[in-house]
């Protein structure tokens, strides 16, 4: 069956969230070490072109007060078992997430839902990047053309939770 282009377009929005509760620190992090992420904003893809990959990157402030400025990142989506998926009615649209330990990046380390990725170092000198660099990391969300080509038309939405912890 061939669908007209107007029927294959979909709209996608992703709400980004972060955890404000106390996070367990890594065994190698000193007592009192803390990490904080600020500057996350909702991502709205708008009407998507189904012929090519669609991505949006945003700068955020990832801060760690550990001696090295080190931190880890864990991402969890709103799909089943924390999968990175957007939903529209009963339809699912998978997406990918990458994290870069510096600002103004459009790619980085691919994140796997629920998996801690360590080894990042923050250049932030203040918790919300009010002084020093305006941002210290980049988050990129990618929806692949292969997934878009088979997506049902409609508004898609989901939630992505990003958690950082000091190292």
Please state, in angstroms and rounded to a whole number, the distance separating the CA atoms of residues 32 and 15. 30
Q: What is the CATH number of the domain that holds 45?
A: 2.60.40
- 28-51 pLDDT, tens per residue? 455 677 888 988 888 888 888 788
Task: Give the pair of three-digit tokens for residue 144.
Answer: 């692949």
Q: What is the pTM of this model?
A: 0.83
Which residue range forms the structural domain that includes residue 79? 5-166
Q: How many domains does the chain have?
A: 1
Q: Is the pLDDT of residue 140 over 60?
A: yes
Whether 24 has a pLDDT exceeding 90, the answer reads no
Torsion of CA 22, 115, 159, 44, to 10 degrees: 120
Q: How far is CA 139 from CA 7, 90, 95, in A?
A: 30, 27, 13
Q: What is the pLDDT of residue 15?
A: 52
Model confidence pLDDT, tens digit, residues 77-126: 999 999 999 988 888 999 999 999 999 999 999 999 999 999 999 999 88
Residue 110: what pLDDT?
A: 98
CA 77 to chain centre: 9
């Amino acid at each position: 069956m061939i669908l007209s282009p107007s029927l294959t377009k979909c709209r996608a929005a992703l709400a980004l969230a972060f955890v404000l509760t106390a996070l367990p620190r890594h065994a190698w992090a000193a007592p009192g070490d803390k990490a904080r992420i600020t500057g996350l904003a909702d991502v709205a893809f708008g009407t998507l072109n189904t012929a090519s990959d669609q991505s949006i990157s945003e700068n955020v402030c990832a801060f760690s007060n550990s001696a090295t400025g080190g931190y880890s990142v864990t991402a969890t989506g709103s799909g089943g078992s924390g999968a990175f998926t957007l939903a529209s009615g009963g339809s699912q649209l998978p997406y990918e997430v990458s994290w870069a330990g510096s600002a103004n990046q459009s790619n980085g380390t691919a994140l796997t839902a629920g998996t801690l990725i360590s080894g990042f170092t923050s250049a932030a000198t203040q918790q919300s990047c009010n002084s020093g660099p305006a941002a210290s990391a980049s988050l990129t969300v990618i929806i692949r053309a292969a997934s878009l080509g088979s997506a049902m038309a409609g508004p898609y939405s989901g939630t992505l939770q990003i958690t950082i912890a000091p190292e």
